[in-house]
Chains A and B, each alone.
Chain A
């Protein structure tokens, strides 16, 4: 009898899905346009292990220009402002600077505001169950990595408004590493007051060229990275000094559209140190001591992946 009920259940749910024409990719596309179209005021928290960071997120449209404010509410703080295609970052201890792009790089991957289809090379879109998130009915959509070298990304999308309600980085074993949860959202007809004030303010000019800034040199085959997880492309490589400790590093930035990782090659610190990893939420830092040089890999990738990348870096022959 149990078997029969189960079979019936599976059959029924499959039918429901088919008749509703709910398509995971369609849902994500709807979400992307909802985030760009609507006026909303939302609060969310990012939970990394025992740590928690609260954010406020405002979005709206004023006279055909898209405005957005994202600010971290705890600690030293961070404020990101977007006016159409100009994103300005305000942080303590550094001058505010702007980047010419159409999405804020915050806790939410930028791809979710754009062409989600670009991810289909590396991820499968899988529809999950319905759940109640932030007091709303939500549909789970899973971005499932096509290999085991990346984390999966799960999204819960508001069935009514198609807005993002919850998101999480999940390991291949199903363990949640880092989650983002909306605690409140109000969708309004009119944009919030802080957004209206934005349009009358001035922001720094975007950095002239993204690839080349001061004190950087183009890097030409200084190092060979022997192994990369499938789907990652090199976006940038140069040699520059790190802001915090003024140390020189050969730098590579890779992305698969959803997540990025950085590879740093540096002069080794003196003394015998073992290679090792640290992690915070989904972010892994792997430091590999290869003797003549140190390779560090930082990004939202599994430790084993970071280790394999770091160990594959060699001097070109």
Chain B
């Protein structure tokens, strides 16, 4: 009973000893895990910020072990096992081919999100915002600078069209303003004519 029970509650025993809930006697000491105790002590100290030194975890030995097991690249494989070498070659080639593709795919998806994000934002803004504000007094007869620009023909044509449209809108606003000045007079004229017809 004793052995198995202690094994199950191994961590619990260490913890309770550490918390001074259980006396450190022979029976408990048998279950005592020195490593764990050191770790708990370290955690406790760190939490209470009593530790002046940063906890130092030495992993050099394990790294050295891991490196020792690592396959060395660039080394000529022994020629005695041609079959095996070919297999390994295949694996390397495949992963080499996949890697850039995966990177491209990730980049593409990121840019797609960016594009989607932007195009999602733009119409929303248009829907929420007001219509573009018009210049109330159209600029008349202003001279725009002419230059021998190297700008592509299509682009400059588009720009020209935009200017043409702006100019037209300016002309329309001005004409409306002029014409509506006569509106009152015209209304009166129409009324007078109506009255005359009645007579």
Distance, CA A176 to CA B181, complexed state (A): 24
Indicate if B63 sits at the interface (CB-CB under 8 A). Answer: no
Q: Interface readout for B170-192 with A: 1 if CB under 8 Å, 0 if not?
A: 11111110111111111111100
Partner of A49, one of B133, B183, B185: B133
| B176 and A210 form a contact (CB under 8 A) | no
Partner of B169, one of A235, A249, A278: A278
Query: Which residues 226-263 in A have Cβ within 8 Å of B in the complex?
Result: 233, 235-236, 242-245, 247, 249, 251, 253, 255, 257, 260-262
| A243 and B181 form a contact (CB under 8 A) | no
Whether A298 touches B173, Cβ cut-off 8 Å, given contacts A105-B180, A253-B180, A269-B164, is yes
Task: Report the minimal beta-carbon distance from B189 to chain A, rounded to whole angstroms.
Answer: 7
Secondary structure at chain B's binding surface: helix, strand, loop or mixed?
Answer: helix
| A280 and B134 form a contact (CB under 8 A) | yes
Task: Report the minimal beta-carbon distance from A217 to chain B, rounded to whole angstroms.
Answer: 16
Query: Which residues 36-88 in B have Cβ within 8 Å of A in the complex?
Result: none
Task: Report the minimal beta-carbon distance from B167 to chain A, rounded to whole angstroms.
Answer: 5
Partner of A235, one of B133, B137, B141, B187: B187
Distance, CA A257 to CA B161, complexed state (A): 36
| B185 and A100 form a contact (CB under 8 A) | yes
| A101 and B167 form a contact (CB under 8 A) | no
Indicate if A287 sits at the interface (CB-CB under 8 A). Answer: yes
Whether A262 touches B176, Cβ cut-off 8 Å, given contacts A210-B185, A235-B187, A278-B133, is yes
| A260 and B180 form a contact (CB under 8 A) | yes
| B136 and A48 form a contact (CB under 8 A) | yes
Task: Report the minimal beta-carbon distance from A97 to chain B, rounded to whole angstroms.
Answer: 9
| B140 and A93 form a contact (CB under 8 A) | yes
Closest to B141 in A: A93
| B181 and A105 form a contact (CB under 8 A) | yes
Closest to B171 in A: A244
Residue among B141, B169, B185 with max Cβ neighbours from chain A (10 Å): B185
Indicate if B11 sits at the interface (CB-CB under 8 A). Answer: no
Could you say which residues of chain B place their CB within 8 Å of the CB of A89?
181
| A264 and B175 form a contact (CB under 8 A) | yes
| B172 and A262 form a contact (CB under 8 A) | yes
Task: Report the minimal beta-carbon distance from A10 to chain B, rounded to whole angstroms.
Answer: 37
| B136 and A280 form a contact (CB under 8 A) | yes
Distance, CA A279 to CA B180, complexed state (A): 17
Distance, CA A50 to CA B131, complexed state (A): 14
Could you say which residues of chain A place their CB within 8 Å of the CB of B189?
210
Q: Interface readout for A276-305 with B: 1 if CB under 8 Å, 0 if not?
A: 111111010101000000001011000100
Partner of B186, one of A49, A103, A211: A211
| B131 and A278 form a contact (CB under 8 A) | yes
| B183 and A278 form a contact (CB under 8 A) | no
Indicate if B156 sits at the interface (CB-CB under 8 A). Answer: no
| B140 and A244 form a contact (CB under 8 A) | yes
Distance, CA A264 to CA B140, complexed state (A): 20
Indicate if A51 sits at the interface (CB-CB under 8 A). Answer: yes
Q: Interface readout for A185-213 with B: 1 if CB under 8 Å, 0 if not?
A: 00000000000000000000000001100
Distance, CA A257 to CA B140, complexed state (A): 30
| A251 and B179 form a contact (CB under 8 A) | yes
Could you say which residues of chain B place their CB within 8 Å of the CB of A285?
134, 169, 172-173
8 closest A-B pairs by beta carbon, nearest first, are: A244-B171, A101-B185, A110-B184, A298-B176, A105-B181, A278-B134, A260-B180, A262-B176
Listed in ascending order, the chain B residues whose CB lies under 8 Å from chain A are: 130-138, 140-141, 158, 161, 164-165, 167-176, 178-190
Can you spell out 17 A-B residue pairs with CB atoms less than 8 angstroms apart? A48-B136, A51-B136, A99-B181, A105-B181, A111-B184, A245-B168, A247-B171, A253-B179, A260-B180, A269-B168, A277-B131, A279-B130, A279-B131, A279-B134, A281-B136, A285-B134, A303-B131
